[in-house]
Chains A and B, each alone.
Chain A
Amino acid sequence: MNDTISVTIKVWRQENPDAPGRFETHPQEITTDASFLEMLDLLNEQLNDRGEEPIVFESDCREGICGTCGLMINGRAHGPQKATATCQLHMREFEDGDEIVIEPFRAAGFPVIRDLAVDRSPLDHIIESGGFISVGSGAAPDANLTPVAREAAEKAFDAAACIGCGACVAACPNSAAQLFTSAKVGHMALLPQGQPERWSRTEAMVEVMESYFGSCTNHGECHEACPKEISLDFIAYLNRDYVKAKVKNRALSGQR
């Protein structure tokens, strides 16, 4: 079984961060067994052969776990298939004769570097603000040294599934990064190992997040766009922990 479909690719082209962008249209014959990124690879080979500039897009592992790829396909982050990153999307999701509009993830915090590649470093800044271990903590402790309730472990694992692709920000009408930040805060706040710096971490990460991104209005678009189906429940936990942190941090720093 090897069906071939013809589709029209309408892709965003932008020379550099300051250049005005435009859409470019390319007809494409493609086997439905190709993945979406393979389709773009083949398109780039054609562009190369014609001596044109290939389309810049990001990808790394191509198995849905690194979070590097991420395209807005027909107005949906990571395309039409639910719980799937762009690299795991296949052309069999499209029909013969479809027009496929490919755009970069959009947000003021995600400036376009070139074509479809955006700078998602604000997400890294959020992670950085969460802090890091700066003391020699020795070898890894025995795995069963700190008991963790099964429910907490499961929940923390759900949150840790976040690959940091930024689809939640791209899909959010407010460009809020609440789902990303709540997953990162949540997966540590649920575990005993994450308790010592829980409140300072939550406070710092939310404040860096708010310096780049918008405010959550609970539309729920992020959850639909998320390739790892991170739950909106984590946003609720984050909102609760942040205000708790504001009260607790003050007490911890000795201000009465």
Chain B
Amino acid sequence: MVQSIRERYRVQPVRAHKRNWPFPLNIYQSAVGRKWVMALTGIGLVGFVLIHMVGNLHVYEGPARMYEYAETLRTLGGGLVPKGLILWLMRFGLAGMFALHLHAAITLKDMSRHSSEDSGIMSGAKKYAGGRDHIAATYASRTMRWTGPIIALYLLFHLADLTWGWWLGPDFVRGDPYHNVATSLASLPVAALYVAANVALALHIFHGAWSIFQSLGVNNPRYNHLRRGLATGIAGLILVGNLSFPILTQTGLINEDNRPCPVNDSTGLVCLAEQAEGH
């Protein structure tokens, strides 16, 4: 069959149209909808990071108040629900948001990569031989796909370190966060890792928090100039708060001296509970 030149060289779509999923899942089939999901889960995740950081400031009030804070999280809902239920619901919610955020990011990156492929000088990433000037793109926006995986790996390390206690081994005392933080962050390599990961987190949030407004179309000429400042403020707040923990542990502000209670998971925790009630 003879193919006309016109047919031969017609620009082909990079992506074929897929069968529509039922509403509202079909919104997630489009890149714009997927960016909405990234933005909405981003709000949830930034909110979590912010609250997590503020809650952790209890560490500066000493072991008893830190214990009380951790215990409060486990007993959220009071006597109405079984102990730990609300905490576990929030954990599942976070894991779900994290999974969606990750899936959207990976598939969108893939889509952009396919849209930039060409027979010429580009392979995978878009590169011009004339030297590509990044004029508007910030360091943070260009490194989103690196800071993202760094945060994911750091999250796994952080859980293994202070939730599951794999590193501290017998030194890990479940239910005594002050002790665990002070012991883990006293090691210089661990503290350095926390610092590096939190710089990546702040960079990610610096671009992400601004990007949320664009992706969701929250745009009003009267307030647009505030968006960059807000993103910088949130990222800066999280950076300063989170960096204070490893740095102040290293300088000795958070340490186990003058501890009113022994460190162990039986009498130690009972003692902490009594101390907490005293205030």
Contacts and interface: CB of A to CB of B under 8 A. Distances in A.
B23 A239 contact: no
A107 B119 CA distance: 10
Contacts of B279: none
Chain A interface residue number, banded: 35 or more
B32 A107 contact: no
Contacts of A214: 31, 111-116
Interface string B211-222: 101111111010
B11 A173 contact: no
Interface in B215-243: 215-219, 221, 224
A23 B130 CA distance: 11
Given A108-B14, A174-B112, A211-B15, A246 B27 contact: yes
A219 B130 contact: no
A198 to B, nearest CB: 14
A119 interface: yes
A17 B131 CA distance: 23
B41 to A, nearest CB: 15
A250 B20 CA distance: 13
B153 interface: no
A129 B167 CA distance: 58
Nearest to B134: A221
Contacts of B14: 108-109, 211-213
Contacts of A220: 136-137, 141
B194 interface: no
A239 B122 contact: no
A107 B131 contact: no
Given A214-B112, A246-B27, A221 B137 contact: yes
B120 A112 contact: yes
A113 B211 CA distance: 35
Interface string B244-272: 00000000000000000000000000000
Contacts of A221: 134-137
Contacts of B125: 173
Given A101-B131, A214-B115, A242-B33, A232 B214 contact: yes
Interface string B100-120: 000000001101111111111
User: Which residue among B11, B122, B129, B215 has the maximum number of chain A CB atoms within 10 Å of its CB?
Assistant: B11
Given A21-B121, A23-B129, A218-B210, A109 B142 contact: no
Interface string A215-226: 111111101110
A175 B216 CA distance: 20
Interface residues of B, number: 60
Contacts of A224: 135-136
A255 interface: yes
A178 to B, nearest CB: 8
B32 A236 contact: no
B133 interface: yes
A76 to B, nearest CB: 5
Interface in A232-255: 232-233, 235-243, 246-247, 250, 255
B122 A246 contact: no
A238 B32 contact: yes
Contacts of B215: 218, 239
Interface string B118-153: 111110011011111111110001101000000000
Contacts of B9: 17, 111, 113, 119
Interface string B193-216: 000000000000001001101111
Contact of A175 (B11, B126, B135, B207): B126
Given A107-B116, A224-B136, A242-B32, 6 more contacts: A103-B129, A106-B120, A211-B14, A216-B31, A239-B215, A243-B36
20 contacts: A12-B129, A101-B129, A101-B130, A107-B126, A108-B115, A109-B11, A119-B11, A175-B112, A176-B115, A211-B17, A214-B31, A216-B32, A217-B144, A218-B210, A218-B214, A233-B221, A236-B216, A239-B216, A239-B217, A240-B219
Interface of A: 10, 12, 14, 17-18, 20-21, 23, 72-76, 101-103, 106-113, 119, 121-122, 172-176, 206-207, 210-221, 223-225, 232-233, 235-243, 246-247, 250, 255
Ranked nearest first, the 5 interchain pairs of A and B with the lowest CB-CB distance are: A240-B217, A101-B130, A214-B112, A174-B112, A214-B115
